[in-house]
Structure 1
Amino acid sequence: MSVRQGLLALLAETPMHAYQMRQQFEHRTGGTWPLNMGQVSTTLDRLVRDGLVEPADTADADAEVQRYHLTAAGRDELATWWATPVVRSTPARDELSIKLALAVSAPGVDVRTIVQAQRTETMRAMTDLTRLKADLPASGWSSEDLAWSLVLDHLVFAAEAEVRWLDHVESRVARAAAEGGTSDETAVSRRAAATARATAATAAASGGAR
């Protein structure tokens, strides 16, 4: 999630002050990615420093808050962002993936119990998301309704994928247990090979993005 580009997108529509940007960002994303004023202020300072945003002239000299608008360079950067796909070469630090990756090699940890507990939590989240989708109007959607609906769809699809992955983890762990696992030497070799492949793929993707 890029706060920088998000603020540029909002300012492309109309000049705003920092609090309006925070409100609009959270409103349009359904509060899924809340911002604090420190984030907004720090990002604004950097945008001004980089020449992408500048203070807007105001007819009210006594205005208590400063509004901002995009510069030509800011519009160019925003246009580039719209046109550029999000690069997936570097995996995000996902807590669940890290937790299970460590759990499978931690002595005395019951991985299947962790998986079952997580599946229950993810299913609960899916139920909540489905309930939120049901609250959307049946017709006559505004652009804000559509934006929120798309965010909800993404979260539901991600939760469904997580449940499928948890099923896969449980199956792999059960199969490994039935086969008696693998030797430490073989496991280290496999991890080293996987790391080398991931590093090569990342380098190739980064080179192609330049």
Structure 2
Amino acid sequence: MGDIVEDETSFYSNAEDYWKEVPPTVDGMLGGYGSISNIDINGSKAFLKKFIREGEGKTGSGCALDCGAGIGRITKRLLLPLFQTVDLVDVTKEFLDKARSYLGEDGKRVENYFCCGLQDFVPETGRYDVIWIQWVIGHLTDDHLVDFLRRCQKGLRPNGLVIIKDNVSYEGIVPDEVDSSVCRDLEIVRRLVGRAGLRIIHEEQQMNFPKEIYQVHMLALR
């Protein structure tokens, strides 16, 4: 991917500039596709519930981390209903400020709002049952993604999971000049996960999204 991202600094700063101009709304978070939010959340919930149960080898429901959280759409609809506490991390301060009101009463169970790019973020060791990374890996270079996933692994509790949910391209790496990101094909994502020392324990495609957008896949990693 090095040849696609020629200048790492501007790759990140252009993305930050792009998101600063995006309205802090559900529609803004979903690039104008606010209408798919319910389908997205329901697909994620069905996926996540396969792992979170009491009992041997199951993932706990104590604390989750929402990566690239924006205004907290996923925290509000998916994570707070399933976990006792949630932390949010996002590079855009305005989104995190908005999250405080958007999350409403349940927002009291959010312990931390981290304003930080994922390339620099270090999850606290052994803190999280689930680290949820949705629609944000395209904003990381390959090396930074691998390093971030390694740090995530250290941030997990026993039986914890890292979950990636993201667009996948049909082939190779497709750059997006508008928001300064890339879309990788599934094989490349799998390879980067492997490089990070994680294995995919379950993988599914999100169904019922509009035909004109990228396919979206969910990968559960340990």
TM-score tier (shorter): under 0.3
TM-score (norm 2): 0.24
**Higher share in helix:** 1
| Pair member with larger Rg | 1
The structure that is strand-richer by fraction is: 2
